[in-house]
Amino acid sequence: DIQMTQSPSSLSASVGDRVTITCRASQGIRNDLGWYQQKPGQAPKRLIYVASILQSGVPSRFSGSGSGTEFTLTISSLQPEDFATYYCLQHNSHPYTFGQGTKLEIK
């Protein structure tokens, strides 16, 4: 199975900050990766697919990059509504696997 190592597991930041979350795959997954945002009591929502394509309707302050084994999600200027938990997902091979999650909290 492909292991997805996500870091950091938690992050404290302020409105307006630039933040970066990283996912590392235990083997190459091309660009078969998505990023998801989950708020308490809600279902996950996809932000980015195939590593770098912004989901329709998602603000442009979110961006994704990477290929192979290392991927990043960047939020260029944090907004109050961005405080949530973020997950990466590899869909290169079965079983699909998620990163452990990054909880983004208000400083």
Partner 1 sequence: EVQLVESGGGLVQPGGSLRLSCAASGFTFSSFWMSWVRQAPGKGLEWVANINEDGSETNYVDSVKGRFTISRDNAKNSLYLQTNSLRAEDTAVYYCASGGWLDFWGQGTLVTVSS
* Contact set with partner 1 (CB under 8 A): 1, 34, 36, 38, 42-46, 49-50, 87, 89, 91, 94-101
Q: Give the residue with the Cβ less far from partner 1, 20 or 38.
A: 38
Q: Give the residue with the Cβ less far from partner 1, 6 or 75.
A: 6
CA distance 50 to 32: 5
DSSP state of 32: -
Task: Please report how close the Cβ of residue 99 comes to partner 1 at its closest, in angstroms.
Answer: 8
Q: Give the residue with the Cβ less far from partner 1, 77 or 100.
A: 100
Q: Which long-range contacts (CB under 8 A, 24 or more apart) does 41-47 make?
A: 44/87, 47/73, 47/86
